[in-house]
């Protein structure tokens, strides 16, 4: 299974910063094409500019969220069709920061994923437990509930990706042990096999303080099929280092 390394820029950057970052990543990619799929997800205002730079580069463009509706009176929102119109192939949905900051439920995430899939996007559906939930030993139960409620019935290995991000490891520098990551990804794989068409082939990304120094080890874990990268995706050297780590694990 070909790994996917996705950069989630979150609410960071400027037009100048985006231009420089994309130019650097493109230059590295042109010199050494890696056997992994690369994806950049900048903030909405920069999608057109980044998309223009990425044309013909072999690097995909993605959004960070979308609305459930195709159009209408939804001030400030963006539809999946609009993302497609800008050249996006993917969209991140249900990130813990959306679930927390905007009180997004798993039911809403499933509706967004259905809309994204219907528009032709690949939905990257995020799941993950808090530190309190892990300390209580509830991580498997929490993630299972999120997958059951967040993944729409029409999700397949071709139109959806799962991203496991332990909430307590996002941007904190904390990282689960390799054993913890392996156990959770095996758990998720089992759930996908039971519930999703082609679930055995659906990519499961790991996210949560992924760095060049730990990428190869994490990407080599069974059932880890790539990374959803946050802060490290804002530096070309770090993002590329993670992609190289994923390439090493691919053989």
Q: Residue 97 pLDDT > 70, yes or no?
A: yes
How many domains is the chain partitioned into structurally?
1
pLDDT of residue 154: 94
| Parent domain of 81 | 6-68+75-159+170-204+237-249
Phi, psi of 123 (to 5 degrees): -90, 120
Q: Residue 38 pLDDT > 90, yes or no?
A: yes
pLDDT of residue 251: 59
Q: Residue 23 pLDDT > 90, yes or no?
A: yes
The Cα 143–Cα 162 span in angstroms is: 11
pLDDT of residue 170: 82
Q: Is 76 left (phi over 0), alpha (psi -120 to 50) or beta?
A: left
CA distances from 110 to 116, 192, 213 (A): 10, 15, 34
Q: Looking at the domain assignment, is residue 214 inside a domain?
A: no
Q: Looking at the domain assignment, is residue 197 inside a domain?
A: yes
Q: Looking at the domain assignment, is residue 229 inside a domain?
A: no
Counting residues of the chain whose pLDDT is more than 70, the rounded percentage is 100
Contacts of 215 (CB under 8 A, 6+ apart): 227, 241, 242, 244, 245, 246
Strand partners, 164: 127, 206
Tens of pLDDT, residues 166-198: 998 888 888 789 999 999 999 999 999 999 989
pLDDT of residue 171: 80
Q: Looking at the domain assignment, is residue 153 inside a domain?
A: yes
Mean pLDDT of 102-116: 98
Tell me what the pLDDT averaged over the chain comes to: 96
Tens of pLDDT, residues 46-81: 999 999 999 999 999 999 999 999 999 999 999 999
The Cα 171–Cα 97 span in angstroms is: 11
The Cα 243–Cα 118 span in angstroms is: 29
Q: Residue 234 pLDDT > 70, yes or no?
A: yes
3-state secondary structure of 120: coil
Active site residues: 95, 165
Q: Looking at the domain assignment, is residue 165 inside a domain?
A: no
CB burial of 183-219 (b: ≥16 within 10 Å; e: otherwise) equals bbbebbbebbeeebeebeebbbbbbbbbbbeebbebb
CATH assignment of the domain containing 146: 3.20.20.70
Q: Which of 161-175, 207-221, 230-244 has the lowest mean pLDDT?
A: 161-175
Q: Looking at the domain assignment, is residue 142 inside a domain?
A: yes
Closest CA to 184 of 216, 220, 150, 222: 222
Tell me the two tokens of residue 47: 């999608």
3-state secondary structure of 128: coil
CA distances from 231 to 169, 191, 216, 221 (A): 12, 29, 17, 22
């Amino acid at each position: 299974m070909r790994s996917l390394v996705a950069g989630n820029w979150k609410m960071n950057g400027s037009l100048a910063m985006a231009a420089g970052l994309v130019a650097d990543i493109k230059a590295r990619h042109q010199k050494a094409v890696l056997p992994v799929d690369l994806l950049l997800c900048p903030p909405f205002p920069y999608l057109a500019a980044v998309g223009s730079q990425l044309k013909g580069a072999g690097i995909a463009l993605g959004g960070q969220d979308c609305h459930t509706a195709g159009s209408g009176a939804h001030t400030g929102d963006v539809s999946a069709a609009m993302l497609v119109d800008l050249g996006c192939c993917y969209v991140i949905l249900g990130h813990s920061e959306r679930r927390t900051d905007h009180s997004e439920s798993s039911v809403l995430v499933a509706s967004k994923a259905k809309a994204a899939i219907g528009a032709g996007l690949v939905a990257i559906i995020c799941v993950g437990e808090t530190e309190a939930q892990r300390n209580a030993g509830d991580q498997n139960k929490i993630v299972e509930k999120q997958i059951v409620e967040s993944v729409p019935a029409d999700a397949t290995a071709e139109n959806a990706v799962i991203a496991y991000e332990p909430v307590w490891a996002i941007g904190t520098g904390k990282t689960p042990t390799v054993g913890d990551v392996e156990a959770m990804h095996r758990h998720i794989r089992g759930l996908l096999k039971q519930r999703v068409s082609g679930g055995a082939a659906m990519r499961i990304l790991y996210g949560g303080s992924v760095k060049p120094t730990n990428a190869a080890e994490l990407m080599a874990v069974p059932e880890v099929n790539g990374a959803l990268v946050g802060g490290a995706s804002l530096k070309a050297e770090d993002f590329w280092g993670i992609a190289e780590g994923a390439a090493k694990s691919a053989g």
